[in-house]
């Protein structure tokens, strides 16, 4: 409606060089004075800040175009260089070309036949999809070897490039430096056709233009000076460099006019070269970078473009936008996964342009009357003539509201139900930006459902997120249809749900669905009311003495009808022979026609990133809307359940009885003795080496195995005493949080600390700490922690633990940067690929990479965990239907 | 309805489906397999086939889909969760193989030399279960240097000779005789010295009598290969379900293929360049896919193969391996703006200037830079409608 109306589109961009005439033509002023402002603070005429170059001070008008600050784009000036200077960036090309042309007649060093042959190829290549650039490379190489010009029979001399900008001709008598004037003279005589063969397009750029005779001076808007608080003006780095150039240029000119000795002229000339080179690129190797008075290297033209903070990556590939907000996030279990809670303060600033029509005119009037300060109000009014009224400064808004007629546009406040984009950095995959529906709420944080934490990888330890408001109808439609959270449940990475339950939801589901859970009628009603259930209650599982419902019954009420599947739950012990429905742990889940018959619901059933789960089946068979509703209502129910019941873990949960602690001690002491024995055998040289390993490696491996075994059996002892009533065990078993290992580290023994993949071995000469003897290879001396987290670590153990922990931190830091770079490279390499209407995958210029995407043309996000069709389900569906009849 | 008519009908329908090619062969096979054992009526069978075809066609990619971006994200995102530890023992405890993120980077970089080259060698089916044969082949593969069977090198100044004392135990272990060692030294030295064997000692009498030459030769003969193939430093034999398998440290595909007793159809290396040089680009493509899948699944990352296939196809579409990065795919893009926005900005801009390049703005980066709609997804469709034209037809 507003933004997407593209009237003009740039079709192509041509690159080229500016000829000296071009520079003079576009220049509005010749710059000759190496100074900025006079004593009164006015810019000096023909100086570096000449008023004709544009305006940077508010209130002034541009002398060239008459516009004020924001509207004047700035205008170029020019400097006439007293002597030509080579552009450092093109020195290499110039050197190559000079070697390929005759020093006398400037013709290309190819015979006429060769020229004809290559011209033929040049015509043929684009047609067969070859790059002519490679031909030019070949020609340059070939010409460099030619000794005698085939056109004028002049003998060719060797040319040497001395970085950055000097070219020497090496003759028998010694080497002579070619001045830029000499070089330019040679290049000027090269014909257009010869240039073409050498890979230079003479229509866009003749190489002699890279030998500068006149320098363009960028407008002041490109290099604005800033006024410090003290009133002192501080000039931009580019201006500093331009001042240097002009100063030397003027000196050179004066000396030339005065007929100064050759030596002085040459000195000044090379100084001018230095300044122009650093003006273009202050990072050229071989010359010291130009510095600011403070010693900081100047940021000149190349530096402005280059790198992560350069123009390209930071201003052109990524842009700052309006209609966006950022704040801290916090959880709200009562929100739907499709929603986002937006603070009212933010909703009052972000706006949506809405056109006034006959049908909404009353509403719009009301919004305008409410104005910018009361929430569902509006900030601006745009009249049919395009005039924009800022409602903040309107005295009586009801008057202006009366003038509203269809065709006006009201920029109204963001309100509940609007669609917005929500994003958390780093945006590693497409689920990092999803569309949510707004819920305007009090307080100052964005609120989000916990189900969307996994795709955003968000937690609430201070994370901030961004919000963007699409402004056009097309953008909103696309956001709603393609980007809404429920449409993104299935990840294209593996074709399974990336959104799902986590942590307490899983613990609660387990508590709800295990066999022992029964509820009275009031309790059932409470729970179902929170979940928003509005149907009939099923028959209670126990009728007397009181009516009781099982947790499985309650959970079943939310599973869509007609859904049947079975799988093993996360608490499955992986027994050798599975007893299926008779599992004593209730770990085999059976759902028949939407009814949870056996098994407990845990991570495997509806956890985030869990493929082939109950949640996955719901979304595949019933669609995203049903799946979202399932998750939202079950989520609310589970939160209510676990809030009422209470779920906590404390020291009690990791405290073992004295007898168990004793057994663990024994296990550890025995292990340590075993290690000592191993070391003894090693020292007596009686140890047999494993094939392909040295003795020491063998010993190390055996010790590690012994200690790992001890840790495991200690963990098992702990496990025996921590039953399924233990909250920590519930969390570990169901997959809600933590692992068996974490548990045994807390209750039994922390175990081996490692650095660089092995036992800790570095620190002092031959020992890890001065508390040990040199060469001690024992368990404790190499970082085996026998304490548990509960009992506490002794100082030596603490030290080893910190060493291992530090490595983990370093590892994470390094990993994020390396994997980030890998992803950036993958992204730039693959981003142009798209599926065409004929099903082929092609690059931007249209080259075919695949005839069918992934060899079968299936979209992974629409696949069923990688399979294009789930045949079992297709059969089940048809048979279920026809057999039922 | 008799069973045979249903069977006939099924056969006919499958034949037709094969011809129509509306289903990929894998799916068709699976369908055939699963339907076979069910007692189906004609109607049920037809309904199932229709349903399968329909759900297959429903799962196809839509035109305009940004498959490249999705593939890059799907491989890049798990990268943040992978271990950075370079060494991990995979299968064989004695061999360390680069894994995780470093290996994945190695694959997309298309490095010339992986940091831990290794081969997996299966034996001819006839020999696969013979331990002695396996050991014999392993000996033929493992590179043995003079150094590794010698117990002592010495220079005898009086005789102007170099004495190499060979260790009989080590020799027996490698299955070597003194004659063999002498012969290979003689071959390598090529008349620069007279080589003679006496007991367990090989003596060299160099032609030149300079002491420095003597010392230089003393160093040189240590490095002479007496057995095995180049670059394979170590071989481990493992018994697997279908016989003995050899794992090597170091890789040399070309030479390994020529060893007798090796099954050339089941010979793997993790050195992509070698595969490219020996077996060609198609094999390389498959190897890239296989290696990447292995790395990701080893780390427990669930990534759809199609993404990996796309990366492999992009890397090999030219007929040569191209790296993902500035020396490969990104560096050979058509648009100067896209190249400049990636890395080495200045070089690309200056180059575009002198060559007078014309950028047709077909890619993503270029259009982002210009603030235009990108040609992907919903942006890849151009629709022009003339309101006047529409009223006329009415």
Q: Is residue B389 part of a domain?
A: no
Q: Is residue B193 part of a domain?
A: yes
What is the model's pLDDT at position A3?
43
Q: B158 with B206, same domain?
A: yes
Quick one: B297 and B161 in the same domain?
Answer: no
Distance in angstroms (rounded) separating the CA atoms of residues A164 and A158: 18
Q: Determine the 3-state secondary structure of A384 from DSSP.
A: coil
Q: What is the mean pLDDT of residues B28-56?
A: 83
Percent of chain B as helix, strand, coil, to the nearest 5: 50, 15, 35
Of B334, B350, B356, the CB nearest to A203: B356
pLDDT tens digits for B278-329? 999 999 999 999 999 988 988 888 899 999 999 999 999 988 899 998 888 8
- The pLDDT value recorded for residue B21 is 81
Report pLDDT for A884. Answer: 54
Query: pTM for the full model?
Result: 0.90
At A338 the pLDDT is 94
Distance CA A530, CA A512 (A): 15
- Check CB contact under 8 Å for B303 and A493: yes
Mutation site, B307, B356, B361, interface A, largest A CB count within 10 A: B356
**Do the chains contact at B302 and A207, CB–CB below 8 Å?**
no
| Co-location of B285 and B160 in the same domain | no
B28-45 average pLDDT score = 81
B182 inside domain? yes
The yes-or-no verdict on residue B84 having pLDDT over 70 is: no
Contact assignment for B354 to A17 by CB distance below 8 Å: yes
**CATH fold for the domain made of A324-497:** Barwin-like endoglucanases (2.40.40)
Q: Which residues of B touch A825 (CB under 8 A)?
A: 108, 324-325, 330
Q: Which of chain A's residues have a Cβ under 8 Å away from the Cβ of B330? A: 825, 828-829
**What one-character-per-residue DSSP string does A317-348 give?**
SS---SSEEEEEEEE-TTS-TTEEEEEHHHHT
Q: Tell me which H or E stretch contains A55.
A: none
Give me the residue spans of the domains in chain A: 31-75+218-314, 87-208, 324-497, 504-645, 651-810, 832-885
* CB-CB neighbors (< 8 A) of A6 in chain B: 372-373
Q: Residue B79: give its domain's CATH number.
A: 1.10.1790
Q: What is the pLDDT of residue B192?
A: 73
Cβ-count burial of B168 within 10 angstroms (0-12 exposed, 13-18 middle, 19+ buried)?
middle
| 8 A C-beta contact, residue A453 and residue A459 | yes
Contact state of A863 with B236 under an 8 Å Cβ cutoff: no
Say if the Cβ atoms of B345 and A691 lie within 8 Å. no
Q: Which of residues 616-635 of A touch B (CB under 8 A)?
A: none
Q: How many residues does chain A have?
A: 885
Same domain, B19 and B132: no
Cα–Cα distance, A287 to A297 (Å, whole number): 13
Burial of A140-149, coded b for 16+ CB within 10 Å and e otherwise, reads: beebbebeeb
Give pLDDT, residue B190: 74
Percent above pLDDT 70 for chain B: 93
Contacts with A815 from chain B: Cβ below 8 Å:
80, 82, 84, 101
283-322 of A, contacting B, C-beta below 8 A: 302, 305-307, 310, 312-313, 316-317, 319
Closest CA to B246 of B154, B76, B124: B124
Please give the pLDDT value at position B85: 62
Interface contact flag, A850 B313, Cβ < 8 Å: yes
The superfamily CATH assigns to domain A504-645 is: RNA polymerase Rpb1, domain 3 (1.10.274.100)
The answer to whether residue B103 sits within a structural domain is: yes
Taking the CA atoms of chain B, what radius of gyration do you get in angstroms?
Answer: 31
B308 CA to chain A: closest CA distance, Å? 9
CA-to-CA distance for A628 and A501, rounded, in angstroms? 12
3-class DSSP state of A491: strand
Class of domain A31-75+218-314: few secondary structures
Contact A829 B310 (CB under 8 A): no
Q: Does B194 reside within a domain?
A: yes
Taking 70 as the pLDDT cut, the residues of chain A under it are 1-7, 691-692, 881-885
Specify the residue for token string 């840790």.
Answer: A711
- B 324-383 residues with CB < 8 A to A: 324-325, 328-330, 333-338, 340-342, 345-346, 349-350, 352-366, 368-373, 375-378, 380
CATH number of B368's domain: 1.10.150.390
Select the residue of B52, B95, B307 nearest A871 (Cβ to Cβ).
Answer: B52
B206-212 contacts, C-beta under 8 A, 24 or more apart: B206/B160, B206/B161, B206/B162, B209/B160, B211/B157
Task: Give the C-alpha separation, B326 to B333, whole Å.
Answer: 10
For residue A6, what pLDDT is reported? 54
Q: Which of B64, B85, B95 sits opposite A834 (nearest CB)?
A: B64
**What is the band of B87 on the pLDDT scale with cuts at 50, 70, 90?**
low
Give the structural domain span for B22. 3-58
Q: CB under 8 Å to B358, separation ≥6 — which residues?
A: A12, A13, A14, A15
Give the distance, in angstroms, between the CA of residue B113 and the centroid of all CA atoms in the same chain.
11
Chain A nearest CA to B267, separation (Å): 22
Residue B386 maps to a domain: no
Tell me: do B69 and B41 sit in the same domain.
Answer: no
- B161: closest CA of chain A, how far (Å): 33
Q: Where does a domain end: B227, B252, B280?
A: B227
**Closest Cβ opposite residue A858 in set B61, B84, B362:** B61
- CATH number 3.40.47.10 given to A651-810: no
Q: What is the nearest CA distance from A848 to chain B, expressed in angstroms?
A: 8
pLDDT(B92) > 70: no
Does B50 lie in the same domain as B69? no
* CATH code for position B218: 3.30.1360.140
CA A607, A612, A616: angle at the middle one, nearest 5? 65
Residue closest to A354 by CA, chosen among A397, A429, A413, A298:
A413
Q: Which residue has the tokens 């008519």?
A: B5
The pLDDT assigned to A4 comes to 46
Asked if A635 and A333 touch (Cβ cutoff 8 Å), the reply is: yes
CB contact residues (below 8 A), chain B span 33-92, against chain A: 34-35, 38, 41, 43-44, 47-48, 51-52, 55-56, 58-80, 82-85, 87
A830 touches chain B (CB under 8 A): yes
**Tokens describing residue B97:** 């193989």
For chain B, how many structural domains are there in total?
5
């Amino acid at each position: 409606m507003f933004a997407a109306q593209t009237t003009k589109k740039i079709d192509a961009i041509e690159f080229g060089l500016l000829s000296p005439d071009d520079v003079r033509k576009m220049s509005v002023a010749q710059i000759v004075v190496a100074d900025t402002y006079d004593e009164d603070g006015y810019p000096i005429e023909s100086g570096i800040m000449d008023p004709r170059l544009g305006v940077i001070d508010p209130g002034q008008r541009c002398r060239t175009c008459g516009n004020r600050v924001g509207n004047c784009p700035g205008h170029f000036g020019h400097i006439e260089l007293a002597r030509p200077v080579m552009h450092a960036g093109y020195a290499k090309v110039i050197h190559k070309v000079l070697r390929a042309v005759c020093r006398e007649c400037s013709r290309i060093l190819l015979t006429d036949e060769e020229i004809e042959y290559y011209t033929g190829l040049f015509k043929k290549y684009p047609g067969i999809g070859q790059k002519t650039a490679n031909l030019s490379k070949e020609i340059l190489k070939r010409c460099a070897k030619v000794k005698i010009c085939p056109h004028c029979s002049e003998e060719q001399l060797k040319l040497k490039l001395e970085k950055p900008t000097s070219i020497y001709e090496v003759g028998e008598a010694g080497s002579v430096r070619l001045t830029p004037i000499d070089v330019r003279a040679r290049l000027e005589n090269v014909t257009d056709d010869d240039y073409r063969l050498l890979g230079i397009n003479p229509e866009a750029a003749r190489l002699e233009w890279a030998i500068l005779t006149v320098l363009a001076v960028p407008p002041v808007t490109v290099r604005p000076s800033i006024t410090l608080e003290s009133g002192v003006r501080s000039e931009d780095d580019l201006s500093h460099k331009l001042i240097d150039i002009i100063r030397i240029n003027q000196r050179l000119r004066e000396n030339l006019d005065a007929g100064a000795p050759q030596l002085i002229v040459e000195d000044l000339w090379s100084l001018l070269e230095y300044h122009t080179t650093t003006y273009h690129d202050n990072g050229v190797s071989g010359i010291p970078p130009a510095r600011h008075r403070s010693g900081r290297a100047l940021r000149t033209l190349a530096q402005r473009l280059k790198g992560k903070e350069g123009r390209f990556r930071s201003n052109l590939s990524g842009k700052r936008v309006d209609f966006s907000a950022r704040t801290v996030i916090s959880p709200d279990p009562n929100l739907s996964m499709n929603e986002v809670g937006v603070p009212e303060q933010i909703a009052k600033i972000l706006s949506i342009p809405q056109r006034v029509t006959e049908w909404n005119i009353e509403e719009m009037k009301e919004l305008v009357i409410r104005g910018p300060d009361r929430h569902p109000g509006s900030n601006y009014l745009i009249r049919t003539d395009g005039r924009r009224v800022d409602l903040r400064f309107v005295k009586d808004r009801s008057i202006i509201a009366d003038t509203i007629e269809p065709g006006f546009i009201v920029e109204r406040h963001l309100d509940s139900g609007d669609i917005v984009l929500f994003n958390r950095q780093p945006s590693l995959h497409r689920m990092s930006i999803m569309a949510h529906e707004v819920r305007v709420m009090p307080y100052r944080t964005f609120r989000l459902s916990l189900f969307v934490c996994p795709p955003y990888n968000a937690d609430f330890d201070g994370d901030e997120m961004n919000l963007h408001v699409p402004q056009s109808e097309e953008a909103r439609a696309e956001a709603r249809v393609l980007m809404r959270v429920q449409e993104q449940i299935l990840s294209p990475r593996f074709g399974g749900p990336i959104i799902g339950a986590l942590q307490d939801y899983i613990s609660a589901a387990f508590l709800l669905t295990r066999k022992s859970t029964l509820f009275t009628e009031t309790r059932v009603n409470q729970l179902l009311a929170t979940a928003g259930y509005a149907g009939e209650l099923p028959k209670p599982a126990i009728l007397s003495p009181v009516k009781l419902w099982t947790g499985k019954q309650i959970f079943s009420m939310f599973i869509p009808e007609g859904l049947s599947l079975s799988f093993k739950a996360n608490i499955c012990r992986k027994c050798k022979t599975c007893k299926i429905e008779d599992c004593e742990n209730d770990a085999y889940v059976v759902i028949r026609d939407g009814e949870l018959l056996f098994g407990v619901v845990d991570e495997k059933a509806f956890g985030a990133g869990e493929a082939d789960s109950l949640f996955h089946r719901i979304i595949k068979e019933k669609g995203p809307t049903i799946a979202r509703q399932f998750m939202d209502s079950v989520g609310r129910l589970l939160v209510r359940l676990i809030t009422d019941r209470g779920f906590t873990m404390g020291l009690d949960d990791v405290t073992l009885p004295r007898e168990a602690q004793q057994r663990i001690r024994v296990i550890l002491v025995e292990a340590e003795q075993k290690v000592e024995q191993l070391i003894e055998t090693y020292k007596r040289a009686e140890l047999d080496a494993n094939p392909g390993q040295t003795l020491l490696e063998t010993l190390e491996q055996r010790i590690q195995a012994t200690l790992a075994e001890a840790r495991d059996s200690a963990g098992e002892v702990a496990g025996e005493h921590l039953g399924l009533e233990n909250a920590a065990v519930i969390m570990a078993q169901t997959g809600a949080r933590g692992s068996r290992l974490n548990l045994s580290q807390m209750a039994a023994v922390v175990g081996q600390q490692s650095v660089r993949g092995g036992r800790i071995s570095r620190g002092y000469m031959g020992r890890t700490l001065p508390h040990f003897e040199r060469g001690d290879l024992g368990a404790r001396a190499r970082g085996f922690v026998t304490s548990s987290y509960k009992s506490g670590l002794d100082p030596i153990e603490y030290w080893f633990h910190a060493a291992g922990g530090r490595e983990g931190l370093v590892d994470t830091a390094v990993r994020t940067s390396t994997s980030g770079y890998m992803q950036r490279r993958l992204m730039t390499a693959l981003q142009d690929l798209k599926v065409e209407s004929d099903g082929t995958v092609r690059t931007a210029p249209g080259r075919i990479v695949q005839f069918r995407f992934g060899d079968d043309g299936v979209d992974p996000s629409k696949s069923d965990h990688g399979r294009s069709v789930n045949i079992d389900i297709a059969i089940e569906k048809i048979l279920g239907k026809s057999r039922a009849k | 309805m008799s069973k045979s008519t249903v069977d006939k009908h099924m056969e006919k329908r499958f034949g037709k489906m094969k011809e129509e090619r509306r289903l990929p062969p894998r799916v068709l096979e699976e369908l055939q397999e699963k339907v076979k054992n069910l007692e189906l009526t004609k109607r049920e069978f037809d309904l199932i086939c229709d349903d399968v075809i329909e759900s297959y066609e429903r799962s196809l990619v839509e035109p305009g889909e940004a498959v490249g971006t999705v593939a890059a994200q799907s491989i890049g995102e798990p990268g943040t969760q992978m271990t950075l530890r370079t060494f991990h023992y995979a299968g064989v405890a004695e061999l360390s193989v680069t894994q995780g993120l470093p290996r994945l980077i190695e694959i997309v970089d298309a490095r010339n030399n992986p940091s831990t080259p290794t081969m997996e060698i299966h034996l001819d089916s006839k020999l696969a279960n013979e331990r002695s044969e396996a050991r014999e082949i392993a000996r033929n593969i493992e590179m043995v240097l003079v150094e590794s069977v010698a117990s002592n090198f010495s220079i005898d100044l009086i005789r102007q000779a170099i004495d190499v004392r060979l260790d009989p135990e080590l020799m027996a272990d490698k299955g070597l005789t003194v004659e063999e060692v002498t012969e290979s030294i003689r071959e390598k030295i090529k008349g620069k010295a007279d080589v003679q064997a006496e007991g367990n000692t090989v003596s060299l009498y160099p032609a030149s009598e300079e002491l420095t030459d003597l010392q230089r030769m003393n160093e040189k003969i240590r490095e002479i290969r007496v057995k095995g193939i180049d670059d394979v430093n170590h071989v481990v034999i493992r018994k697997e379900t279908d016989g003995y398998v050899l794992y090597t440290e170091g890789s040399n595909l070309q030479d390994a293929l020529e060893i007798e007793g090796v099954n050339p159809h089941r010979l793997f290396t993790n050195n992509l360049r070698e595969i490219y040089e020996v077996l060609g680009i198609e094999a390389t493509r498959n190897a890239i896919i296989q290696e990447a899948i292995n790395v990701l699944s080893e780390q427990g990352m669930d990534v759809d193969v199609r993404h990996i296939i796309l990366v492999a196809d992009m890397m090999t579409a030219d007929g040569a391996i191209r790296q993902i990065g500035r020396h490969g795919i990104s560096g050979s893009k058509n648009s100067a703006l896209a190249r400049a926005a990636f890395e080495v900005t200045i070089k690309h801009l200056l180059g575009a200037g002198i060559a007078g390049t014309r950028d047709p703005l077909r890619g993503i980066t270029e259009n982002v830079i210009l603030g235009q709609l990108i040609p992907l997804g919903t942006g890849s469709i151009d629709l022009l409608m003339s309101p006047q034209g529409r009223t006329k037809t009415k």
